[in-house]
């Protein structure tokens, strides 16, 4: 590695001209001894500074935070990828972030992860169902002094310190507006909503926002069915096949959850005369491929890297007593195949 000072650094340090510095460095005659001394002193100081930066030990981690996630495999993979991208940046701030994911919808597994991470973490962010068991476990940790943030999907406000993520009710309204605009001149159009489970506050809020927007602005559009796919590819496929066989004139589907590969497989297999408009959530490896191939029309998303950065910063601020805000809302992104961001 080249540690030699650059000409610009020497000019900034000495306030001498490039020509004068060049004469000193190349031992040319006609330079004032004091000028030579000034340049040599600056050169040595810059060498020492550069060597110190190279050999300086890395900043010791001052905070360790954990993100505990109870979600489908698609979502878990995208969150882990985002965590890998930002880890080096967080470490420069003295923060280490661990992401622990479970695709098991059993609350006992999430509670086990929570308690395990709490043994070494200064604070925890959690993506989980809003159930009595989860809320009780989080509340116990908070009573022990742990800082807790609800991430993406809120839990009971009394048991956590803050929420970070998009406004899910507004996201549902956006989906309702888009679908309503597409279908406003159709004859008796029906729309279906697919949820993972309404135990997730985010799924519940998205459906509520969607229905409210349709009812308010596009009353001719009928929301005919709400089905559960449990954030699982096979279960979403089975539920979608049953839906398409039982409900006629489905012109749009809003999937507030995961399992998108199963949903698209069902639509491909059913082969209706008019393929329904499909809106789903979150850009990940599955939805990226599907929207590129025009199997999905819109993705409502949020920047995963920014989500984790904001979460780590908020946990750090809460730990230091500098943050009193309850909510940090991220921008809602409406993605088409023409505006698809890169995952890498």
**200 and 179, same structural domain?**
yes
CB 42 within 8 A of CB 14: yes
Q: Identify the pLDDT of residue 59.
A: 47
Q: Would you list the DSSP string of 25-85?
A: HTT-SS--HHHHHHHHHHHHHHHHHHHHHHHSPPPPP-EEEEEEEE--HHHHHHHHHHHHH
**283 and 193, same structural domain?**
yes
In the predicted model, what is the mean pLDDT of residues 144-171? Answer: 95
SS3 150: strand
The answer to whether residue 19 is domain-embedded is yes
**197 and 124, same structural domain?**
no
Alpha helices in 184-298 (DSSP H): 201-217, 233-246, 260-270, 285-292
**310 and 248, same structural domain?**
no
| Whether residue 344 has pLDDT greater than 60 | no
Distance from C-alpha of 63 to C-alpha of 322, rounded to nearest angstrom: 15
Q: What does the pLDDT look like over 236-258, one tens digit per residue?
A: 999 999 999 998 889 999 999 99
Q: What does the pLDDT look like over 263-295, one tens digit per residue?
A: 999 999 987 888 999 999 999 999 999 999 999
Domains in the chain, number? 3
**175 and 141, same structural domain?**
no
The answer to whether residue 341 is domain-embedded is no
Instruction: Compute the mean pLDDT over every residue in the chain, rounded to the nearest whole number.
Output: 90
- Dihedrals phi, psi of 139, to nearest 5 degrees: -60, -40
Q: Identify the pLDDT of residue 237.
A: 96
By residue range, what is the domain housing residue 82? 63-166+304-331
Q: Identify the pLDDT of residue 52.
A: 61
The answer to whether residue 152 is domain-embedded is yes
CB 196 within 8 A of CB 228: yes
Output 7 or 1, whichever has higher pLDDT.
7
**CA 265: distance to chain centroid?**
26
- Domain of residue 84, CATH code: 3.40.50.2300
């Amino acid at each position: 590695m080249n540690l030699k000072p650059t000409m610009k650094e020497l000019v900034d340090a000495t306030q001498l001209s490039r020509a004068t510095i060049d004469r000193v460095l190349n031992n040319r005659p006609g330079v004032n001894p004091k000028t030579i001394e000034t340049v040599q002193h600056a050169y040595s100081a810059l060498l020492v500074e550069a060597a110190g930066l190279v050999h300086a030990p890395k900043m010791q981690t001052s905070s360790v935070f954990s993100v505990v996630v109870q979600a489908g495999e698609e979502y878990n993979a995208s969150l882990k990828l985002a965590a890998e991208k930002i880890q080096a940046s967080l470490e420069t701030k003295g923060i280490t972030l661990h992401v622990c994911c479970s695709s098991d919808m059993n609350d006992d597994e999430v509670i086990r992860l929570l308690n395990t991470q709490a043994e070494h973490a200064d604070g925890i962010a959690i993506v989980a169902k809003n159930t009595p068991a989860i809320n009780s476990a989080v509340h116990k940790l908070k009573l022990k002094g742990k800082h807790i943030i609800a991430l993406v999907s809120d839990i009971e406000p009394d048991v956590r310190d803050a929420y970070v993520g998009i406004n899910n009710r507004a996201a549902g309204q956006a989906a309702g507006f888009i679908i309503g605009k597409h279908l406003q001149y159709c004859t008796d159009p029906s729309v279906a909503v697919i949820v993972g489970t309404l135990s997730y506050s985010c799924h519940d809020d998205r459906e509520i926002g969607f229905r409210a927007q349709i009812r308010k602005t596009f009353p001719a559009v009928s929301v005919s069915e709400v089905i559960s796919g449990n954030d699982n590819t096979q279960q979403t496929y089975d539920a979608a096949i049953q839906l398409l066989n039982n409900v006629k004139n489905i012109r749009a589907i809003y999937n507030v959850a995961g399992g998108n590969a199963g949903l698209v497989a069902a639509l491909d297999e059913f082969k209706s005369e008019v393929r329904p408009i499909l809106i789903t959530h979150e850009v990940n490896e599955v939805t990226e491929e599907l929207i590129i191939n025009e199997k999905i029309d819109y993705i409502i998303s949020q920047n995963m890297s920014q989500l984790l950065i904001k979460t780590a910063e908020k946990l750090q601020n809460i730990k230091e007593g500098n943050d009193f805000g309850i909510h940090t809302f991220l921008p809602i992104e409406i993605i088409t195949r023409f505006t698809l961001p890169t995952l890498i």
